[in-house]
Amino acid sequence: MRRLWLIFSQAVTVSVAVVFVVSTLKPQWIEALPWKQGGPVSLQVATAPPVARTASGAVAAAVGFSEAARLAAPTVVSIVTSKSAARHPQRNDPWFRYFFGDQDNNSPQSGVGSGVIVSGDGYVLTNNHVVEHMDDIEVMLIDGRKARAKVIGTDPESDLAVLKIDLDKLPTITFGDSDTLQVGDAVLAIGNPFGVGQTVTSGIVSALGRNQLGINTFENFIQTDAAINPGNSGGALVDANGHLMGINSAIYSRSGGNMGIGFAIPVSTARQVMESLIRDGQVTRGWIGVEPRDLTPEIAETFNLPVKEGVLITGVLHNGPAATGGVRPGDVVVQVAQAKVANTAQLLNAVAGLKPGAVAQLKVQRGAEILTVNVTVAQRPKMARAEQAQSE
């Protein structure tokens, strides 16, 4: 009996030693045993791969837009403007002061906007309304440098202006192709909203070709929901690669702040205007001297017209280019040169793109007939803002 007990105790001792060694050196063998299957469950967590970064260390565009912001942000500047208070010419006349009081307003006007450096020569593209009627214009770069700016040219009809600053080693924006934009594309708005400093906001292209908003004479806006606020005017709208797609120009707002509807001038338009202002100091556009109106289904039905799209001519300037070419009130213009026109905005843009002095063919619907008339294009005169959208 004593011998059996000794064998049993030795067997237990060896077994415990074996379990201890195995659990220490190969714990997975113990976990695999059937009697361990009811133990604690090991949670398998899917771990995201390391964030992809570019050679400069920025997060790739698939994760964020830091690379686009890094490329474009240094080219966007803040513009601070001011205008001296106007002084009445008879301010020193005692009788004038007696009857009318002190008419002097000693509080100067000031404003804040944004701009984009487009060349190493120091040309800056911005909105006309940012610098219009201002005496002093100062440009501030993101690196802290400041410079007084000279106005090279302005174009109120497209609300664009070109400035010039004298600084070395300027960063410049890369121009993109706004004609390739599609609704849903990601974009960034960069500017100086409310004068708080450079700010980058993101969104998408909400719509293309917005017009008839009553903002400018020539409208072909990119609509975006990227936050645009007062002070962003003249700033950059860029794509996910940091390429310039538009110049932020206006917002739709009932409160004065962002409501998710902002408008930018396409870079295709901005570049043409910029090059004309730098080259000639002004933008030369075509003009034929007509008063246009959109052709509505009601008008087409009233006059029994066979066309449903086009521009109704309600008036023709006496001895103007259109009148001389044979255009009459009541005609419906359906094509200018090679461009089909379905509304007033398209007619304005098509005629403006014609070269003054050139002869352009216009297709018009006159009653039941389609006629082709030849019009010698004139140069578009400068008009008061209230008249700009009423005559072409």
Instruction: Identify whether residues 298 and 328 lie together within a single domain.
Output: yes
Residue 42: band (very low, low, confident or very high) from pLDDT cuts 50, 70, 90: very low
User: Which CATH number do you get for residue 229?
Assistant: 2.40.10.10
Instruction: Identify whether residues 269 and 294 lie together within a single domain.
Output: no
Averaged pLDDT, 353-369: 90
User: Which CATH number do you get for residue 312?
Assistant: 2.30.42.10
Q: Does 45 score more than 80 pLDDT?
A: no
Instruction: Identify whether residues 291 and 264 lie together within a single domain.
Output: no
Instruction: Identify whether residues 268 and 294 lie together within a single domain.
Output: no
Range of the domain at 273: 178-280
Instruction: Identify whether residues 297 and 384 lie together within a single domain.
Output: yes
Q: Choose between 21 and 145: higher pLDDT.
A: 145
Maximal CA-CA distance, the chain: 140
Residue 40: band (very low, low, confident or very high) from pLDDT cuts 50, 70, 90: very low
In a domain, 96, yes or no: no
Q: Does 8 score more than 70 pLDDT?
A: no
Q: Choose between 261 and 90: higher pLDDT.
A: 261
Instruction: Identify whether residues 261 and 308 lie together within a single domain.
Output: no
Averaged pLDDT, 270-275: 90
Instruction: Identify whether residues 339 and 261 lie together within a single domain.
Output: no
Question: How far is it, in rounded angstroms, from Cα 210 to Cα 219?
Answer: 7
Instruction: Identify whether residues 312 and 293 lie together within a single domain.
Output: yes
Q: Does 163 score more than 80 pLDDT?
A: yes
Instruction: Identify whether residues 272 and 333 lie together within a single domain.
Output: no
Q: Is-catalytic flag, 159?
A: yes
In a domain, 228, yes or no: yes
- Contacts of residue 328, defined as CB under 8 A and 6 or more positions apart, other chains included, come to 313, 316, 366
Burial letters for 112-147: b for 16+ Cβ neighbours within 10 Å, e otherwise? bbbbbbbeeebbbbbbbbbbeebeebebbbbeeeeb
Q: Does 82 score more than 50 pLDDT?
A: yes
Instruction: Identify whether residues 274 and 329 lie together within a single domain.
Output: no
Residue that is last in its domain, among 280, 308, 327: 280
* Residue 202 β-bridge partners: 188
Give the global pTM. 0.70
In a domain, 379, yes or no: yes
Category of 283 on φ-ψ map: left (φ > 0), alpha (ψ -120 to 50) or beta:
beta
Q: Is-catalytic flag, 233?
A: yes
Catalytic residue among 66, 206, 233, 276: 233
Residue 297: band (very low, low, confident or very high) from pLDDT cuts 50, 70, 90: confident
CA nearest neighbour of 170 among 198, 139, 191: 139
Question: How far is it, in rounded angstroms, from Cα 267 to Cα 125?
Answer: 11
- Contacts of residue 66, defined as CB under 8 A and 6 or more positions apart, other chains included, come to 58, 59
Q: Is-catalytic flag, 84?
A: no
Q: Does 48 score more than 60 pLDDT?
A: no
- Residue 367: predicted pLDDT: 85
Averaged pLDDT, 209-213: 77
Instruction: Identify whether residues 216 and 235 lie together within a single domain.
Output: yes
Q: Does 385 score more than 50 pLDDT?
A: no
Catalytic residue among 159, 225, 239, 331: 159
Q: Choose between 51 and 181: higher pLDDT.
A: 181
In a domain, 297, yes or no: yes
In a domain, 359, yes or no: yes
Question: How far is it, in rounded angstroms, from Cα 242 to Cα 187?
Answer: 9
- Residue 256: predicted pLDDT: 67
Q: What is the pLDDT of residues 173-185, one digit of tens each?
A: 999 998 889 999 9
- Residue 107: predicted pLDDT: 56
Which of these ranges, 120-134, 251-265, 344-358, has the smallest mean pLDDT? 251-265
Query: Number of folded domains in the chain?
Result: 2
Residue that is last in its domain, among 256, 280, 304: 280
Instruction: Identify whether residues 291 and 270 lie together within a single domain.
Output: no
- Residue 254: predicted pLDDT: 67
Residue that is last in its domain, among 263, 280, 297: 280
Q: Does 389 score more than 50 pLDDT?
A: no
Q: Choose between 209 and 244: higher pLDDT.
A: 244
Are 126 and 79 a contacting pair, CB within 8 Å? yes
Averaged pLDDT, 313-337: 91
Question: How far is it, in rounded angstroms, from Cα 297 to Cα 63?
Answer: 48
Residue 368: band (very low, low, confident or very high) from pLDDT cuts 50, 70, 90: confident
- Residue 35: predicted pLDDT: 45
Q: Does 52 score more than 70 pLDDT?
A: no
Catalytic residue among 129, 158, 249, 276: 129
